[in-house]
Homo-oligomer: A and B are copies of this chain.
Amino acid sequence: MNIDALRSGDRRALARAITLVESTRDSDRGAAEKLLRCAMPHTGGALRIGISGAPGVGKSTFIEAFGSQALAQGKRVAVLAVDPSSAREGGSGGGAILGDKTRMEKLAADARAFIRPSPAGEAQGGVARRTRESMLLCEAAGYDTLIVETVGVGQSETQVAAMTDIFLLLLSPAGGDDLQGIKRGIMELADIVVVNKADGKLSDAATNAAADLRHALNLLRPRLASWSTPVLLVSALEGRGISETWRRVDEYRALLEADGALHARRRRQARDWLWNETREMLLAALKHDRAVGDALESALGEVGDGKLPASVAARALVATFMRSESLATSTAASTVTTPAASTVTATAASTTT
């Protein structure tokens, strides 16, 4: 895998590059990191758009219409999915629900678009890590419009908001005339709220829902001081409201770029990502450490039952881990060069079999 193939814009090369960074095989990681390092000078040029919505709000219909309009304007669109819940079927091109190409036929058929199903069967953090790396590869491959979608399981919206420039929340009236039951914490992330299915029988319900949402959003402090989160009525099915959504997205982007907020936000996101990765890698190494193993089980039990303060248990676990690491490495010193989760797991597994 080399950077020129990726830079050529060939979709198969991009797909192979993403498969490489998604690989959990230790032998692939070196090549993946080399590729990512080469890709970095060519990244950062795309607008990174996060889109989230519960099942049934018409997310794929919306992304199909929204992405197609971008293609019509000469943009190159890549769609990536963060979906911690779906099960892997038949490999990375398989049957994950999010990003499934059959959901977005027009986009998938267009040579200027790239759609990547979500890798699945992994911890949430793992999926998000690979999606971030895949975003970078898409940018290096020349895509100028990245759409990262999530169905909103667990913390996935927060993860997507943390890797994108603008976050769109999709809602739709569920047949009744209100929107009760918006997942807690998600409305706070939205830069733009889209009320989809504003058509046919749901038309009035959508209008009422939008009014309620505007009222509720009014109470919240805006994320960007100069921006007030709009609530847009859209019928992705009939193509209405899509241009207006793009107009608002572009307006937001201009605002971000004008006052340097985009640069600052991406810088902060990258650094937060660094700290989170580091924390998770260290925790994964501890969890898979042989010496920690049994102590961990009993610590979880005692802490959960209120017999031991978590702070005390944590100190003991960390102490055990550090001692164990020093012993393990002093006998087989130079081999520990890549102590990331996968390596450590592999090591732990091979020593116990």
Residues in A lying within 8 Å of B, measured CB to CB: 29, 33, 36-37, 40-41, 43-44, 129, 132-133, 136, 178-185, 187-188, 212-213, 215-216, 218-221, 223, 266-267, 270-271, 273-275, 277-283, 285-286, 299-300, 303-315, 317-319, 321-323, 325-326, 328-330, 333, 336-340
Please pick, from B187, B286, B303, the residue contacting A282 in the complex, using a CB distance under 8 A.
B286
Asked if A282 and B223 sit within 8 Å, CB to CB, the answer is: no
User: How far does the alpha carbon of A29 sit from the alpha carbon of B267 in the complex, in Å?
Assistant: 37
Note all chain B residues with C-beta closer than 8 A to A278.
283, 286, 314, 317-318
Asked if A309 and B182 sit within 8 Å, CB to CB, the answer is: no
Given A266-B306, A278-B283 in contact, is the A300-B273 Cβ separation under 8 Å?
A: no
Please pick, from B178, B181, B322, the residue contacting A221 in the complex, using a CB distance under 8 A.
B181
Please pick, from B133, B183, B184, B307, the residue contacting A311 in the complex, using a CB distance under 8 A.
B133
User: How far does the alpha carbon of A32 sit from the alpha carbon of B120 in the complex, in Å?
Assistant: 44
Please pick, from B29, B182, B279, B307, the residue contacting A279 in the complex, using a CB distance under 8 A.
B279
12 A–B pairs (Cβ distance < 8 Å), ordered by A: A132-B309, A132-B310, A180-B221, A182-B219, A182-B221, A185-B185, A213-B219, A215-B215, A274-B303, A277-B314, A322-B336, A322-B339
Note all chain B residues with C-beta closer than 8 A to A322.
285, 325, 329, 336, 339
Given contacts A41-B307, A281-B315, 13 further A-B contacts (CB under 8 A): A37-B312, A40-B308, A184-B221, A187-B220, A213-B219, A271-B304, A273-B310, A277-B315, A278-B318, A319-B336, A322-B325, A323-B333, A325-B326
Note all chain B residues with C-beta closer than 8 A to A321.
282
Total copies of the chain = 2
Q: Name the residue of chain B whose CB is nearest to the CB of A223.
A: B184
Asked if A314 and B281 sit within 8 Å, CB to CB, the answer is: yes
Within the complex, the shortest CB–CB distance from A224 to chain B, in Å, comes to 11
User: How far does the alpha carbon of A40 sit from the alpha carbon of B266 in the complex, in Å?
Assistant: 44
User: How far does the alpha carbon of A216 sit from the alpha carbon of B231 in the complex, in Å?
Assistant: 14
Given A282-B286, A325-B325 in contact, is the A310-B270 Cβ separation under 8 Å?
A: yes
Within the complex, the shortest CB–CB distance from A316 to chain B, in Å, comes to 9
Within the complex, the shortest CB–CB distance from A295 to chain B, in Å, comes to 12
Asked if A318 and B221 sit within 8 Å, CB to CB, the answer is: no
User: How far does the alpha carbon of A44 sit from the alpha carbon of B303 in the complex, in Å?
Assistant: 12
Within the complex, the shortest CB–CB distance from A185 to chain B, in Å, comes to 5
10 nearest CB pairs, A to B: A326-B329, A277-B314, A216-B216, A273-B310, A282-B282, A330-B330, A274-B310, A184-B188, A279-B279, A278-B314
